[in-house]
Amino acid sequence: MSHSGRREPTASLSLLDATMVGIGAMIGAGIFVLTGLAVDISGPAAIVAFALNGGVTTFTALSYAELAAAIPRNGGGYAYVREVFSAPVSFVMGWTRWFTYMIAGSLYALGFASNFIEWGHLYGIELPGPAVGYALFAVAALVTLNALSTEASGKGETVITLVKIAILGVFVAFGLTAARTGEFRPLFSKGALSVLPAMGLTFIAFQGYDLIATVTEEVENPRVNIPRAIILSVVVTVIVYLLVVFVAIGTLGAEALGGAGETAIAQAAEGFMPRFPVIGTGASLIAFGAVFSTISALNAVVIGSSRVAFAMGREGQLPARLGRFHHRYGTPLAAIAASAVLMLVAVVVVPIRVVGNLASLFSLLGFVVVNLALIRLRSQQPDLQRPFEVPFYPVTPILGIVCNLLLGLFIDPFTWALALGWLAFGGVVYLVWSRRRERPRDEAEAAEIQAPEPIASAEEGDD
């Protein structure tokens, strides 16, 4: 039986593996899908947006590193916030994290669909039907895979990530010779302030390192390796992003890149990549990379979203049914199914740019709360053992909060309205649910102090 609470005596993930979990979730979908849209907003200055986002993310990544090293809990950011704040705050955190993963899933599914069609197009195959159909199919397939077995979906992450990095490496290697710095003049062709909305849109590409926090129990020498893996994965990702964006803008030019939307990277590759044997043009290699990356990122968020719903179910903040494994498949089936429904709805209903903004906004808000949790934990629990400490405390987390809030302000009002709508819906769920379970568990248990110990044989299958 696969059990998330089970601690295996053999820690199986090395520093490399753990770092790859973080990189795998970040590199890929965001860079392939969002680069074109960001360039459309801010011109060549999109590269500045990516660089600044890297800086902003680092502040929060440091906070994550401190919390993950000190608090051995499954559930990532939600678990840390649950440790520090009252029930309503942690509910908001869990509720927005859950939504972020689902909405990111929808973003990756849509990105997969356009790149898949583009890929076929490069081979001269016109794929029938609307892109949404392929996106829906991808979500359905991965959800089914995850619902049936956790084993099948969790393996091979390191290999998949290395393939992604290799493909982008080829792109950068050829592109650096072809890129013209002239394309970056003028840098702020759409005004310096246009960088901010571009940052807001692409911020989602920088979230995902927190997935490391969900596999902490399997990492070797976790006290040291978890903080390292988190910081390393952010640094590597930012470097790769900057190189890729530099090459894309430097070769295709901001104008054309902005027009290409979510297949921008593949179109940039078409201009300078040589033909490869078997694969065909360089563009098809990149399109393949995009298809591959979006699928693996989609898989990561399907797992991530179901874990958050599962953790909330265990904590009694959502119906307990979500926090239970299915008796036949041994997976958190209810949590996966609930996440799948929203992902499918978002794929059909919400346009891709709004999806990107929504996902970014919620991860910004989530990161604000994580930084607050760090500050509050320092003052509430000064004697807590912290194997890793954020440097320059309290400047670093405060900068994290300020930058995240600032970026949030530059996301358009329509996105804010949708976000507030989801929060309001969450508030209703919370009120209804907390009223239903008004009888606190402690009272019920205190009544039977002398309850006999469970028999040894009944210990294993606890749910």
Question: Can residue 320 be called a binding residue for other proteins (CB under 8 A)?
Answer: yes
Side chain identity at residue 398, one-letter code: I
Helix or strand holding residue 24 (H, E): helix 15-26
CB closer to other proteins out of 421 and 440: 440
Residue 454: Cβ within 10 Å count: 9
The binder of other proteins chosen from 22, 43, 197, 313 (CB under 8 A):
313
Question: Can residue 315 be called a binding residue for other proteins (CB under 8 A)?
Answer: yes
Q: Binding string to other proteins for residues 375 to 414, with x set by CB under 8 A, is what?
A: -----xxxxxx-x---------------------------
437's tokens: 């379970």
Question: Can residue 72 be called a binding residue for other proteins (CB under 8 A)?
Answer: yes
344's tokens: 């499918």
Segment contacting other proteins (CB under 8 A): 5-13, 40-48, 176-184, 267-275? 5-13
- Applying the rule CB under 8 A, the residues between 216 and 255 that interact with other proteins are 216-217, 221-223
The answer, yes or no, to whether the previous bond of 227 is cis (omega within 30 of 0) is no
3-state secondary structure of 276: strand
Segment contacting other proteins (CB under 8 A): 193-201, 254-262, 408-416, 435-443? 435-443
Residue 280 bridge partners (DSSP): 276
CB closer to other proteins out of 126 and 442: 442
Q: Residue 317 CB, nearest distance to other proteins (Å)?
A: 10
Question: Can residue 88 be called a binding residue for other proteins (CB under 8 A)?
Answer: no
Segment contacting other proteins (CB under 8 A): 19-27, 177-185, 315-323, 355-363? 315-323
Q: How far is CA 48 from CA 53, 168, 239, 357, in A?
A: 8, 20, 13, 18
Q: Residue 85 CB, nearest distance to other proteins (Å)?
A: 10
CB closer to other proteins out of 83 and 157: 83
- Asked whether the beta carbons of 168 and 248 are under 8 A apart, the reply is no
Q: How many residues bind other proteins (CB under 8 A)?
A: 46
Question: Can residue 5 be called a binding residue for other proteins (CB under 8 A)?
Answer: yes
CB closer to other proteins out of 36 and 323: 323
CB closer to other proteins out of 121 and 376: 376
Residue 94 bridge partners (DSSP): none
The binder of other proteins chosen from 33, 73, 197, 304 (CB under 8 A):
73
Q: Residue 443 CB, nearest distance to other proteins (Å)?
A: 7
- Asked whether the beta carbons of 264 and 36 are under 8 A apart, the reply is yes
Q: How far apart are CA 400 and CA 5, in angstroms?
A: 31
Question: Can residue 70 be called a binding residue for other proteins (CB under 8 A)?
Answer: yes
Q: How far apart are CA 199 and CA 209, in angstroms?
A: 18
Q: How far is CA 263 from CA 37, 260, 425, in A?
A: 10, 6, 34
Q: How far apart are CA 410 and CA 199, in angstroms?
A: 9
Segment contacting other proteins (CB under 8 A): 26-34, 110-118, 276-284, 442-450? 442-450
**Which of 109, 112, 250 lies closest to 171, judged by CA?**
250
The binder of other proteins chosen from 26, 33, 41, 71 (CB under 8 A):
71
Q: How far is CA 211 from CA 20, 22, 215, 270, 462, in A?
A: 10, 6, 7, 33, 26
Which positions touch other proteins (CB under 8 A)? 3-7, 70-73, 83, 216-217, 221-223, 313-316, 319-321, 323-324, 380-385, 387, 437, 440-446, 449-450, 452, 459, 461-463
